[in-house]
């Protein structure tokens, strides 16, 4: 049974950049009321992006706890396909106006920069940016959607023959015999096999690309 939200993929749309380089603040109209806790919203984004989670390490965890004993800050670490590692700290709205907390984080960020260990500070408003968060939640909701080996091979061959990317409509055409073609593509995004532009509404003209981890293994 196809995921109910996937009916929107039948309309026309399109591609942009990842969370590890995010810094801009969205306008108020871009932000939807949060439903999940901040840590789960950030995890949802990370799981839908072409990055892998890794352990931030005990030293950084201790430093963050000293800054925020109440544990409102959300610490995560990600690894890019080229092996680079980036640590992320998401700041809830309640701490963004705390000058002591912000100053301590900036000092920690500079110390990490000098050690070659980038630390990105991400405001809660950025985590909540739409349509990226809703798209990421849709990807997460489809992560267990099944795909036959034959369908997977046909889709990956189609993408490789076109230089690694194709429209969502063309990819759906490769999976005509599958029970839930759109859900299967999103499951491959969750599995880091494919990647999508989450910053724009999903539709037939959205670009599907081979994920960097898949290309790195090729």
Q: Which of 102, 129, 156 is the last residue of a domain?
A: 129
Asked whether the predicted pLDDT for residue 124 surpasses 90, the reply is yes
* pLDDT on residue 8: 52
Would residue 87 count as lying in a domain? yes
In a shared domain, residues 122 and 37: yes
In a shared domain, residues 93 and 161: no
User: pLDDT digit string (tens) for 26-82?
Assistant: 343 444 454 799 999 999 999 999 999 999 999 999 999 999 999 999 999 999 999
In a shared domain, residues 115 and 68: yes
**Contact indicator for 31, 130 with CB cutoff of 8 Å:** yes
Would residue 39 count as lying in a domain? yes
Would residue 143 count as lying in a domain? yes
Q: Which of 92, 107, 129 is the last residue of a domain?
A: 129
Domain that holds residue 192: 135-217
Please, which pLDDT band fits residue 214 given cuts at 50, 70 and 90?
confident
Please give the average per-residue pLDDT across 85-106, as a whole number: 97
As a whole-number percent, the residues of the chain with pLDDT over 70 amount to 83
Would residue 5 count as lying in a domain? no
Would residue 6 count as lying in a domain? no
**Contact indicator for 172, 108 with CB cutoff of 8 Å:** no
* pLDDT on residue 152: 97
**Contact indicator for 196, 155 with CB cutoff of 8 Å:** no
Asked whether the predicted pLDDT for residue 105 surpasses 70, the reply is yes
* pLDDT on residue 1: 57
In a shared domain, residues 152 and 99: no
Q: Which of 106, 129, 152 is the last residue of a domain?
A: 129
In a shared domain, residues 121 and 142: no
Please, which pLDDT band fits residue 12 given cuts at 50, 70 and 90?
very low
Q: Output the average pLDDT for the chain.
A: 88
Asked whether the predicted pLDDT for residue 112 surpasses 80, the reply is yes
* pLDDT on residue 96: 95
CA 185, 186, 188, 194 dihedral sign is positive
In a shared domain, residues 51 and 80: yes
* pLDDT on residue 142: 97
Please give the average per-residue pLDDT across 204-212, as a whole number: 96
Structure tokens at 132: 């990226």
Total domains, the chain: 2
In a shared domain, residues 49 and 123: yes
**Contact indicator for 213, 192 with CB cutoff of 8 Å:** yes
Would residue 21 count as lying in a domain? no
Asked whether the predicted pLDDT for residue 19 surpasses 60, the reply is no
Please give the average per-residue pLDDT across 101-111, as a whole number: 98
As a whole-number percent, the residues of the chain with pLDDT over 90 amount to 80
In a shared domain, residues 139 and 212: yes
CA distances from 168 to 149, 181, 194, 195 (A): 19, 10, 11, 11
User: pLDDT digit string (tens) for 170-197?
Assistant: 999 999 899 999 999 999 999 999 999 9
Residues 6+ positions from 129 with CB-CB distance below 8 Å: 26, 30, 31, 199
**Contact indicator for 19, 197 with CB cutoff of 8 Å:** no
Would residue 125 count as lying in a domain? yes
* CATH number, residue 204: 1.10.10.10
More confident call, 13 vs 153? 153
* pLDDT on residue 18: 44
In a shared domain, residues 123 and 140: no
CA distances from 193 to 100, 190, 209 (A): 42, 8, 9
């Amino acid at each position: 049974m196809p995921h109910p939200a996937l009916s929107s993929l039948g309309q026309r749309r399109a591609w942009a950049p990842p969370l590890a380089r995010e810094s801009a603040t969205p306008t108020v109209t871009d932000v939807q009321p949060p439903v999940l806790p901040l840590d789960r919203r950030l995890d949802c984004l990370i799981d839908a992006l072409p990055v892998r989670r890794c352990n931030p390490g005990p030293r950084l965890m201790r430093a963050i706890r000293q800054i925020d004993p109440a544990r409102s800050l959300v610490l995560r670490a990600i690894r890019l396909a080229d092996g680079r590692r980036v640590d992320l700290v998401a700041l809830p709205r309640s701490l963004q106006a705390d000058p002591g907390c912000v100053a301590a984080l900036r000092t920690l960020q500079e110390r990490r920069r000098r050690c070659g260990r980038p630390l990105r500070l991400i405001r809660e408003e950025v985590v909540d940016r739409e349509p990226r968060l809703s798209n990421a939640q849709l990807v997460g909701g489809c992560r267990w959607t099944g795909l036959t080996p034959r369908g997977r091979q046909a889709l990956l061959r189609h993408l490789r023959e076109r230089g690694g990317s194709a429209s969502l409509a063309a990819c759906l055409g490769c999976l005509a015999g599958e029970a839930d073609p759109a859900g299967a593509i999103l499951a491959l995004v969750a599995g880091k096999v494919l990647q999508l532009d989450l910053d724009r509404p999903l539709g037939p003209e959205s670009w599907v690309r081979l994920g960097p981890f898949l290309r790195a293994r090729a």
